[in-house]
């Protein structure tokens, strides 16, 4: 599925280029093709891999960690645990991916000849301590692994052996917390060390230092931070966790994460941290980042959007598309399109979305305004449609053969807020997100979540209208965004189709 928006004109493009919960972007180029990886946290499969020919239009081509042997997420791993901050690089004819699994396996390295997969089994890195690992090679073939902190060791990436003692390189700007997301590059006569700092909330920013060797010493850029929106009312906030790439024409670009808060004070972002694109110039040996905005001047080459893929899935294929994710694992016997051809069948494990092992299949919400519909046959069980942030923050519409009910989980509060008899036959469940306009006071939430069913003639029967702020990072905490999908909470439940429709950019 193509994940980015369509340019408004031939001279502009919309930011974010990858909307929705696609955070911590890391990018590399192989020839004229760009590839990008993002964090996936508690979701399986892990580490989405995306492809572009123009830096603006992106298509998810797979997930690097799509086998249980690559990605272990125990049921006691918390929401916003799991896989953090990948670095994706192309070196010596191969693709290299290094990640941190904070839920038990530590730092892991994977390789592939085709970024769409398959990716190798993990190479463990027991001597690499810290999150957000980076890979860089010097002219002598040495591989340097730099981690949040900012520390560095030399490793053998083929076997995971550590070849040097860990050493501290740079602590970032004095007074700025959490130096993280390091990326090391050889550009011209210098090695550049790009980091994020200030924390991944409103004070997030990007800073850089340079040195003559990959081990430093590093001098900070006098203009640090080279990108931040802290202390502003800019519509894009939390800007940081960046990576640089050079285009074939010699121009430089930066991908980074940011959020789009909505509503009153303090502003709530519900889609998670998204991937943005901004141009970079070089002045006196330092990068100067262009102005980041929701509408950007197009790059100086033809945009190549490719064929858009419908947001509707009829479940006619034996395997699910790569944008579908589940919680912690996805046993094939519990999630299949083969049991009832043309339908997705889910077998219940956990009894509700409050439980970490619930059978759930969803996709990221990517637009502030959208409509999600699914046709469910609950004759053999109980299940439905949900918009989820974590186990303690989700809104559900759940159907049995007798009753349809809407449930809201907000922290310790867990309540059925509406119910009605189930119509005869399969039923269409529907969830809509609609931004609140205008903002009337500081307490106005970012959006309203409408939940209900459709009559056979398409008429929407609204059962509940819920405040969207309670499914936001500012309320729930953590690092993820909303995921909207299907679940089974008892027996087995069949879904004929799922339709995701953006209502506005």
**Catalytic residue IDs:** 24, 180
Which two structure tokens, joined as six digits, stand for 396?
Answer: 């559900």
Nearest-CA neighbor of 47 among 103, 101, 94, 1? 101
**What would the two tokens of residue 458 be?**
């398409």
Tokens 């892991």: give the residue: 108
Q: For 210-278, give the secondary structure using H, E and C.
A: EECCCCCCCEECCCCCCEECCCCCCCCEEEEEEEEEECCCCCEEEEEEEECCECCCCCECCCCCEEEEE
Calpha distance 311→170 (Å, rounded)? 45
Q: What sign for the dihedral angle of Cα 199, 154, 193, 115?
A: negative
What does DSSP assign to residue 332? G
Listed in sequence order, the DSSP H helices in 408-492 are 473-476
Strand partners, 52: 34
Q: What's the rounded Cα separation, in Å, for the pair 129 and 162?
A: 11
52-91 per-residue burial string, b: 16 or more CB within 10 A, e: under 16: bbbbbbbbbebbbbbeeebbbbeeebebbbbbbbbbbbee
CA–CA separation, 276 and 268 (whole Å): 18
Determine the Cα–Cα distance for residues 376 and 395; give it in Å rounded to an integer: 17
Measured CA to CA, the distance from residue 214 to residue 208 in angstroms comes to: 14
Q: How far apart are CA 386 and CA 14, in angstroms?
A: 28
**209: closest CA among 197, 198, 199?**
197
286 sits in the region (left: phi over 0; alpha: psi -120 to 50; else beta) called beta
Q: Exposed, middle or buried by CB within 10 Å (0-12, 13-18, 19+), for 51?
A: middle
Give the whole-angstrom CA distance, residue 55 versus residue 68: 31
As given in the structure block, the two tokens for residue 139 are 């002219």
Cβ proximity of 99 and 134 under 8 Å:
no
**Cβ–Cβ under 8 Å, residues 96 and 49:** no
Q: Counting every residue, how long is the chain?
A: 505
CA–CA distance, 242 with 208 (Å, rounded to integer): 11
Q: Tokens standing for 487?
A: 């679940």
């Amino acid at each position: 599925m193509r994940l980015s928006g369509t340019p408004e004109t031939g001279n502009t493009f919309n930011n974010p280029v990858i909307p929705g919960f696609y955070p911590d972007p890391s990018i590399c180029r192989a020839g004229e093709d760009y590839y990008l990886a993002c964090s996936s946290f508690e979701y399986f499969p892990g580490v989405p891999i995306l492809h572009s020919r123009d830096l603006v239009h992106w298509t998810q081509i797979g997930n690097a960690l799509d086998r249980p042997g690559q990605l272990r997420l125990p049921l006691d791993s918390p929401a916003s645990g799991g896989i953090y901050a990948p670095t994706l690089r192309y070196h010596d004819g191969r693709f290299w991916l290094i990640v941190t699994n904070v839920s038990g396996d530590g730092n892991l390295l994977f390789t592939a000849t085709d970024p769409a997969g398959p990716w190798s089994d993990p190479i463990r890195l027991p001597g690499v301590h810290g999150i957000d690992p980076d890979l860089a090679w010097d002219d002598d073939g040495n591989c340097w692994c730099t981690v949040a902190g900012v520390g560095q060791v030399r490793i053998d990436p083929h076997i995971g052996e550590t070849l040097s003692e860990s050493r501290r390189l740079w602590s970032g700007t004095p007074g700025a917390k959490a130096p993280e997301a390091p990326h090391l590059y050889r550009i011209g006569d210098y090695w550049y060390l790009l980091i994020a700092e200030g924390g991944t909330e409103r004070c997030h920013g990007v800073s850089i230092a340079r040195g003559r060797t990959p081990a430093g010493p590093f001098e900070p850029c006098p203009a640090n931070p080279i990108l931040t929106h802290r202390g502003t009312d800019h519509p894009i906030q939390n800007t940081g966790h960046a990576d640089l790439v050079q285009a074939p024409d010699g121009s430089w670009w930066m991908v980074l994460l940011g959020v789009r808060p909505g509503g009153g004070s303090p502003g709530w972002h519900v889609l998670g941290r998204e991937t943005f694109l901004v141009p970079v110039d070089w002045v006196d040996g330092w990068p100067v980042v262009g102005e980041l905005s929701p509408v950007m001047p197009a790059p100086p080459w033809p945009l190549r959007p490719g064929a858009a893929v419908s947001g509707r899935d009829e479940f006619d294929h034996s395997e699910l598309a790569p944008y579908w994710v589940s919680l912690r694992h996805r046993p094939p016997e519990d999630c299949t399109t083969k049991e009832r051809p043309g339908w997705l069948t889910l077998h219940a494990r956990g009894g509700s979305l409050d439980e970490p092992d619930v059978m759930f299949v969803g996709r990221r919400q990517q637009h502030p305004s959208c409509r999600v519909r699914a046709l469910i046959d609950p004759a053999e069980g109980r299940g439905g449609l949900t918009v989820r942030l974590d186990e303690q923050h989700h809104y559900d519409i759940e159907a049995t053969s007798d009753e349809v009910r809407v449930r809201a989980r907000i922290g310790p509060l867990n309540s059925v807020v509406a119910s009605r008899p189930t119509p005869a036959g399969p039923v269409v469940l529907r969830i809509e997100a609609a931004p609140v306009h205008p903002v009337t006071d500081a307490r106005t939430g970012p959006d309203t979540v409408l939940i209900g069913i459709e009559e056979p003639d398409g008429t929407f029967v609204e059962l509940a209208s819920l405040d969207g702020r309670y499914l936001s990072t500012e309320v729930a905490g953590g690092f993820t965004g909303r995921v909207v999908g299907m679940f089974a909470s008892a027996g087995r439940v069949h879904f004929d189709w799922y339709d995701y429709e953006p209502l506005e950019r």
